[in-house]
Amino acid sequence: MMTRSKSMYGYYLLWPALLIYTVFFVLPAIIGLYYSFTDWRLDRIGIKFIGLDNFNKIFTDDTLILALKNTFIFAIATVVGKNVIGLVLAIALNMRLKSRNFLRAIFYSPSILSVLVISIVFTPMLRTEGMVNKFFDAIGLHFLSQAWLTDPHIVIWTVALVSIWQHAGFQMAIYLAGLQSISKEYYEAATIDGAGAWRSFTNITVPLLLPAININLMLTLIGGLKVFSEVFVLTSGGPGNSSQVIGTIILRAFGEGNWGLGTAINTLLFLIVSLIAIPLLVFMRRKEVTE
């Protein structure tokens, strides 16, 4: 049986994908890895191997450390926000509501739009005398009026909020998929046993939704750590450097002509995401198997 199935599923069907992926993604990444140990610059002819100098520089640069901090803030805020909101929406929209399909489409719709749309629409709305603050003032919640995009202490949170606004609907779709694969019988049985809504949620929904939770956590975490375009189009890392993240800092290094440093930060980003995502993946797979 084993031997036959091996011979039957020839690897040749895998070649096209492997080839495209390796040539156009992996190979450039490996070359990039090499450059991250060099002093490659636009304004210098010749490339010198400089070992870990670029990496030393990263950890002594205040802006880079701030960018690391902002990246983590953004990642954590969006993981929590997108998943909590996505799950709540999914549970609500899994109920028998009249406008269910309409609401699903509405909540999902921002995630199909270009990030350019988001930035162009939100930039005027988030000004200090913009619509968002006017709204909060009108309903008497003055303390919620903020300098959303210009206060260095909150700007990264604002970008995270906009990202949640855009993508929570996508997480909702995955949670809905998960909820729909849970058989109604479990809930009926639980109701007969006298379990309340909360018990049903923790004892049935959460364990059976685990695959959807895992995939969502994984996607939002990886996306959050690799964030670039939301920050770039909303603030370009500003005001000052207060909303720089790793993704935008790479561009800054390139802009200063320091290509070696730029690729080194890229490598660092890869390491950070790997170190967080791979153990999480392994842990989740184990958990799914044991459940």
Partner 1 sequence: MNQTTRKLSLGAVSAVLALSLAACGSNNSNSESGSTGSGKKVTIELALSKSSQDSAFVQQDLLDEFEKQTNIKVNLQLLPAEQTSTVLQTKLAVNETPDVLQYNLASATTDLNLERNFETLDDQPWVSRLQNKDVLSAYGHIYSFHVSQDTGMQGVVYNKDIFKELGLEVPKTYDEFLAACEKIKAAGYTPIFMPFKDNWAANVMPGAAFGEYAAKNEPTLFDDLNANKKKWTDIPAFQTILDQQYDLYKKGYTNTDVLSDSYDMAAGKFLNKEVAMMFMGDWLIESVQQQDANMNLGLFAYPTDNSGDAYLGASPLGGQLFIPKKAKHIEEAKKFLDFIATKEVAQEIVNNQSYVSNFSDVTTPELPAYKQEILDNYITPKKVAMTMDAFMLVDRSELYRSLQDQFTGSISSQKVLQAWNEKFAELMKDKGEAGF
Partner 2 sequence: MSFSRKLSLRNYLVEILLLIACLAIIIPLLLMIFGSFMTSAEVSKFQIRLPDKWMFSNYVTVFKEGGLARAFLNGIVITGVSAILNIITSSAAAFILARRDSKLASYLYLFFFMGLIAPMSTITTIKVVQWMGFYGSITSVIFIYAALNTAFSIFLYSGFIKSVPRVLDEVAFLEGASLMGVFFRIITPLIIPVNATVAIMVFMSVWNDITIPLYFLTDSSTWTMPLSIYNFYGKYSRDWNLIFADLVMTSIPVLILYLAGQKYIVSGLTAGAVKG
Chain residues binding partner 1 by CB under 8 A are 41-45, 123, 127-129, 147, 149-152, 236-242, 251-252, 254-259
DSSP string, 66-117: HHHHHHHHHHHHHHHHHHHHHHHHHHHHTS--TTHHHHHHHHHGGGGS-HHH
247 binds partner 2 (CB under 8 A): yes
| Residue 236 to residue 247: CA distance in whole angstroms | 11
41 vs 215 by CB, closer to partner 1:
41
| Residue 37 to residue 43: CA distance in whole angstroms | 17
164 binds partner 2 (CB under 8 A): no
H or E element at residue 202: none
Provide the residue count of the chain.
291
Binding test (CB under 8 A) with partner 2, winner from 51, 96, 138, 291: 96
The distance of closest approach from Cβ of residue 39 to partner 1 in the complex, given in angstroms and rounded to an integer, is: 8
Q: At a CB cut-off of 8 Å and minimum separation 6, what does 72 contact?
A: 225
Q: At a CB cut-off of 8 Å and minimum separation 6, what does 191 contact?
A: 200
65 vs 112 by CB, closer to partner 2:
112
In the list partner 1, partner 2, none, the entry touching 173 (Cβ below 5 to 8 angstroms by class) is partner 2
The distance of closest approach from Cβ of residue 267 to partner 2 in the complex, given in angstroms and rounded to an integer, is: 9
Q: What b/e string do you get for 228-239 counting C-beta neighbours within 10 Å, with b at 16 or more?
A: bbbbbbbbebbe
234 binds partner 2 (CB under 8 A): no
In the list partner 1, partner 2, none, the entry touching 109 (Cβ below 5 to 8 angstroms by class) is partner 2
186 vs 254 by CB, closer to partner 1:
254
The distance of closest approach from Cβ of residue 222 to partner 2 in the complex, given in angstroms and rounded to an integer, is: 6
Do the Cβ atoms of 216 and 83 come closer than 8 Å? yes
Do the Cβ atoms of 290 and 283 come closer than 8 Å? no
Binding characters for partner 2, 202-221, by CB under 8 A (x = yes)? ---------xx--x--x---
74 vs 108 by CB, closer to partner 2:
108
User: How much of the chain is in helix, strand and coil states, percent to nearest 5?
Assistant: 75, 0, 25
In the list partner 1, partner 2, none, the entry touching 159 (Cβ below 5 to 8 angstroms by class) is none
User: Tokens 């995270």 map to which residue?
Assistant: 160
Residues 48-87 that bind partner 2 (CB under 8 A): none
107 vs 148 by CB, closer to partner 2:
107
**Would you give the distance in Å from CA 199 to the centre of its chain?**
30
In the list partner 2, partner 1, none, the entry touching 28 (Cβ below 5 to 8 angstroms by class) is partner 2
178 binds partner 2 (CB under 8 A): yes
For the record, the structure tokens of 244 come out as 């720089």
| Residue 125 to residue 115: CA distance in whole angstroms | 15
Q: What is the end-to-end Cα distance of the chain in Å, rounded? A: 29
In the list partner 1, partner 2, none, the entry touching 178 (Cβ below 5 to 8 angstroms by class) is partner 2
- Stretch in the footprint of partner 2 (CB under 8 A) among 6-14, 51-59, 66-74, 143-151: 6-14
For the record, the structure tokens of 181 come out as 């694969």
24 binds partner 2 (CB under 8 A): yes
Binding characters for partner 2, 118-137, by CB under 8 A (x = yes)? --xxx-xx----xx------
